[in-house]
Amino acid sequence: MGNWSIKGQRPILQAVERGEPISYMVLQKGVRVESSEGSEVGRVKRVLQVPEKDVFDGIILSTPNGDRFADADDVDTIYENVVVLRVGDEGAALLPRPDKSAGTMSASPDDVTETGLRYAARRAWNRISGKY
């Protein structure tokens, strides 16, 4: 029967194990990430996007050597059960560490828009307390 590793599998079996191609929007944490040569290089830790533009920005993957950043251009195909990179084993080993700000967003109370009753109550309180 031969070698049944991912790299040596027959195309139909490999396609079944990978699953269907999917959007980055439904990619789950923990999904296997492999190089273009078929070797596992890590697992998805976080999916990055630019929400204002609705654009995939890349992934942060957890590897034995720490977290690494794979830019969207480094990602070939996203399947249900595996992400395939465009880079080989050597290129995957050279992926950079993610920036501290990679994909991080935070919201404060000042970022929330007040509407309806909450807005009216805030305006009334500001008038009563002298904050115009």
Query: Which residue's entry shows tokens 């929330």?
Result: 112
Contact 21, 27 (CB under 8 A): no
Q: Are 13 and 64 in contact (CB under 8 A)?
A: no
* Cα distance between residue 118 and residue 122, in whole Å: 6
Please state which CATH number belongs to domain 11-103.
2.30.30.240
- Ranges 18-27, 48-57, 86-95, 97-106: which has the least confidence: 97-106
Q: pTM of the full predicted structure?
A: 0.65
Q: Return the half-sphere exposure (C-beta side, CA atoms, 13 A cut-off) of residue 120.
A: 2
Domain borders along the chain are 11-103
Q: Element (H or E) spanning 68, and its range?
A: strand 66-71
Mean pLDDT, the chain, integer: 81
